[in-house]
């Protein structure tokens, strides 16, 4: 069964756009700290929903394409990420564990240091999210 991955594609593209805005040094000199914080918050929000879509699409793809035993196996996200790595959807699960930790931070608390940490994680996450999207596009039949 072919998955409709258009929502994931839009989420990854949106994350990319917000990251580009946040890293635009020319624009940054013209902005005050409140606007810079708002842009960073936009990157974090894009990270949150893109991360959620990523793991849900991993699970959907595995249910459709993995062996029946394996498809029913992942009971936790860590197990899901390990299975996704074995199936070639992601490069390795360890970075996805840290993305999960960062996502959990965003839903429980907000302070400047944690926001900066999640922002930095979002920058790393983008490449892995794009990699997953590319694998899903290649193998979506």
The separation between CA 133 and the C-alpha centre of its own chain, rounded to angstroms, equals 10
**What is the pLDDT, as a whole number, of residue 2?**
85
Residue-level pLDDT at 131? 97
> Catalytic annotation on 108?
yes
CA 86 from centre of chain: 18
pLDDT at residue 112 in the model: 80
**Average pLDDT value over all residues in the chain:** 90
Residue 1 lies in a domain: no
Q: What Å distances lie between residue 27 and 20, 30, 107, 128, CA to CA? A: 11, 6, 29, 26
pLDDT grade, residue 108 (50/70/90)? low
In a domain, 35, yes or no: yes
Query: What was the pLDDT predicted at 16?
Result: 98
Check whether 13 has a pLDDT greater than 90: yes
Catalytic residue among 77, 108, 130, 139: 108
Q: Pick 128 or 68 by higher pLDDT.
A: 128
Domain with residue 24: its CATH number is: 1.20.120.330
Per the model's pLDDT, the better-predicted residue between 106 and 34 turns out to be: 34
- 112: how many CB neighbours lie within 10 A of its CB? 8
**Which two three-digit tokens encode residue 9?**
């594609």
pTM of the model: 0.90
pLDDT: which is higher, 140 or 119: 119
Residue 40 lies in a domain: yes
Q: Is residue 87 part of a domain?
A: yes
Asked whether residue 85 is domain-assigned, the answer is yes
Tally of domains in the chain: 1
Question: Which pLDDT tens digit goes with each residue over 68-104?
Answer: 666 666 678 999 999 999 999 999 999 999 999 999 8
Catalytic residue, from 60, 103, 130, 139: name it: 103
Which pLDDT value is given to residue 71? Answer: 61
The range of the structural domain enclosing residue 70 comes to 6-139
**pLDDT, mean of residues 38-65:** 94
Task: Determine whether 103 is an active site residue.
Answer: yes
């Amino acid at each position: 069964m072919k998955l409709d991955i258009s929502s994931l594609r839009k989420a990854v593209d949106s994350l990319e756009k917000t990251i580009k805005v946040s890293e635009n040094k020319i624009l940054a000199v013209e902005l005050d700290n409140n606007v810079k914080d708002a842009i960073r918050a936009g990157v974090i929000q894009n990270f949150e929903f893109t991360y959620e879509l990523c793991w849900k699409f991993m699970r959907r793809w595995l249910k459709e394409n993995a062996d029946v035993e394996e498809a029913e196996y992942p009971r936790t996200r860590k197990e899901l990420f390990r299975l996704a790595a074995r199936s070639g959807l992601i490069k390795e699960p360890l970075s996805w564990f840290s993305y999960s930790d960062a996502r959990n931070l965003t839903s429980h608390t907000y302070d400047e240091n944690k926001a900066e940490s999640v922002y930095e994680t979002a920058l790393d996450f983008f490449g892995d999210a794009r990699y997953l999207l590319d694998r899903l596009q290649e193998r979506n039949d």
